[in-house]
């Protein structure tokens, strides 16, 4: 089961279906699921064309649900991956709602970018079943997944999640719990600095990305990466990091905040640091 059919829910669902894993995809917002369905279809087509997903596997079945109450819990998801908005209170509420409905021992996996897993574990009765994954966008093209083991995560949840990720042919790196874990703790303040450099007039968006690509081997440049992540999500994650570490480098800069205010959320809204022909 995947909770949340936004950027990450779509990517994770695409990856699972392509490996023959059936998915129940849940999103409570109106109109999100039909858009997600189209994006999943497009993702499957593109990734298979690029050879990034197996061609020899029958695609898993997709079930769409608009509220957890509609789920056939008796059929029992083998794992729940939460990929809803980066908001600690909302995530805790949703996990607390789902935990009593699933069979004890079912891994409850949060795909949070930055919220410490143990903070969310406090909201559920069986903290040993909770752990974090950090799939990146697009999940079906990025081969490595950061797996976050909270201080209360049990061995059973860890090994069941490893098995699932093996089935999805992902390389797994297990890390300890902390705000932002490894990837967001390193990447998100760096993107914040890249935006600050533009804000201060040192260089253009294009030149910052070109330098980071050409001199430092960054695959897309930090500001194009911000567009791919979703600038609204990036800002939420930076606030999580700032409030939990006190690190001023994590306080979202004014340029990022203004992009969120203007609705320029990046690739998914058609405009961020760059403009795109169509929102994705």
Ligand X SMILES: NC(=O)c1ccc[n+]([C@@H]2O[C@H](COP(=O)([O-])OP(=O)(O)OC[C@H]3O[C@@H](n4cnc5c(N)ncnc54)[C@H](O)[C@@H]3O)[C@@H](O)[C@H]2O)c1
Q: Which residues are annotated as a binding site for NAD(+)?
A: 4-9, 27, 86, 91, 113, 137, 268
Task: Quote the CA–CA distance of 139 and 142 in Å, as a whole number.
Answer: 5
CB of residue 10 vs ligand X: minimum separation in angstroms?
7
Minimum CB distance to ligand X, residue 236 (Å)? 6
Query: Least distance (Å) from ligand X to the CB of residue 136?
Result: 5
Bind-site residues: 4-9, 27, 86, 91, 113, 137, 268
The residue among 117 and 205 lying less far from ligand X, judged by its C-beta, is 117
Sequence-ordered list of residues with C-beta below 8 angstroms from that of 2, at least 6 positions apart, any chain: 9, 12, 13, 16, 23, 24, 25, 26, 80, 81, 83
Smaller CB distance to ligand X: residue 30 or 277?
30
From the CB of 53, what's the least distance to ligand X, in Å?
A: 19
Q: Which is nearer to ligand X, 93 or 169 (CB)?
A: 93
The least CB distance from residue 93 to ligand X, in Å, is 7
Residues that bind ligand X (CB under 6 A): 3-9, 26-29, 32, 83-86, 90, 94, 111-113, 134, 136-137, 229-230, 233, 237
Residue with nearest beta carbon to ligand X: 6
- Nearest CB to ligand X, comparing residues 27 and 128: 27
**Is the Cβ of residue 156 or residue 183 nearer to ligand X in the bound state?**
183
């Amino acid at each position: 089961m995947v909770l949340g059919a936004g950027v990450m829910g779509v990517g994770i669902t695409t990856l699972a279906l392509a490996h023959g894993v059936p998915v129940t995809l849940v999103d409570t917002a109106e109109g999100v699921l039909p858009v997600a369905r189209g994006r999943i279809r497009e993702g499957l087509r593109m990734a298979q064309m690029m050879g990034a997903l197996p061609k020899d596997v029958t695609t898993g079945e997709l079930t769409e649900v608009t509220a957890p109450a509609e789920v056939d819990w008796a059929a029992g998801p083998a794992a729940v991956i939460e990929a809803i908005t980066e908001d600690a209170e909302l995530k805790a509420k949703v996990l607390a709602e789902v935990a009593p409905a699933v069979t004890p021992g079912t891994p409850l996996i949060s795909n949070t970018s930055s919220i410490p897993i143990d903070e969310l574990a406090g909201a559920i009765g069986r903290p040993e079943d909770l752990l974090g994954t950090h799939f990146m966008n697009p999940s079906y093209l990025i081969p490595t997944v950061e797996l976050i083991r909270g201080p209360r995560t049990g061995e059973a949840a860890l090994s069941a999640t490893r098995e699932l990720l093996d089935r999805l042919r992902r390389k797994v790196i297990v890390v300890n719990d902390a705000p932002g874990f490894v990837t967001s703790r390193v990447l998100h303040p760096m993107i914040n600095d890249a935006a600050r450099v533009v804000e201060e007039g040192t260089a253009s968006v294009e030149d910052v990305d070109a330098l980071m690509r050409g001199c430092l081997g960054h695959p897309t440049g930090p500001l194009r990466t911000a567009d791919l992540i979703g600038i609204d999500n990036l800002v939420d994650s930076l606030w999580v990091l700032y409030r939990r570490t006190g690190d001023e480098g994590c306080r979202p800069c004014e340029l990022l905040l203004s992009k969120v205010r203007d609705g320029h959320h990046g690739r998914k809204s058609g405009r961020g640091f760059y403009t795109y022909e169509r929102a994705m």
